[in-house]
Amino acid sequence: MAEAYFRKFTDGQWRCESAGTDPTGYVHPLAIAVMGEDAIDIAAHTSKSLASFAKEDWDYVVTVCDRAAEACPVLAAAVVVLHWPFPDPAEASGSREQQLTAFRETRDAIKRRVGELLRGLKGN
């Protein structure tokens, strides 16, 4: 979700990649659904491993869950590392609607934080 918002808000001018500490190879169907509600299609995205980006230099690395923050020293070459501790909506239980609510809350929080970061950078 964060990758999609960074791409959208920078009009594709930034190279943005999403990777995880425990990639599954696919994007959760509920993430696809809630991003679709915001007119962003992530159906073709894939879940990638942090290891595939570990040897690259990055200006920014943003972690979005506690497990990622623990694993991100492998990307220590980043100029700026930000940690945004969102609950992992994939771990939500309950009805489908309760799970969708968890995904929507995380989506909205990520969207807000990405926008705040980019507005702050424009102000510099």
14-72: pLDDT as tens digits: 999 888 777 888 899 999 999 999 999 999 998 888 778 878 888 888 888 766 556 55
67-106: pLDDT as tens digits: 655 655 556 566 788 888 888 899 999 999 999 999 999 9
Full-model pTM: 0.87
Q: What is the pLDDT of residue 81?
A: 82
Could you give all domains of the chain from N- to C-terminal order, each with its CATH number?
2-122 (3.40.50.2300)
Q: What is the pLDDT of residue 65?
A: 72
User: Residues with Cβ < 8 Å from 107, sequence gap 6 or more?
Assistant: 1, 31, 34, 35, 38
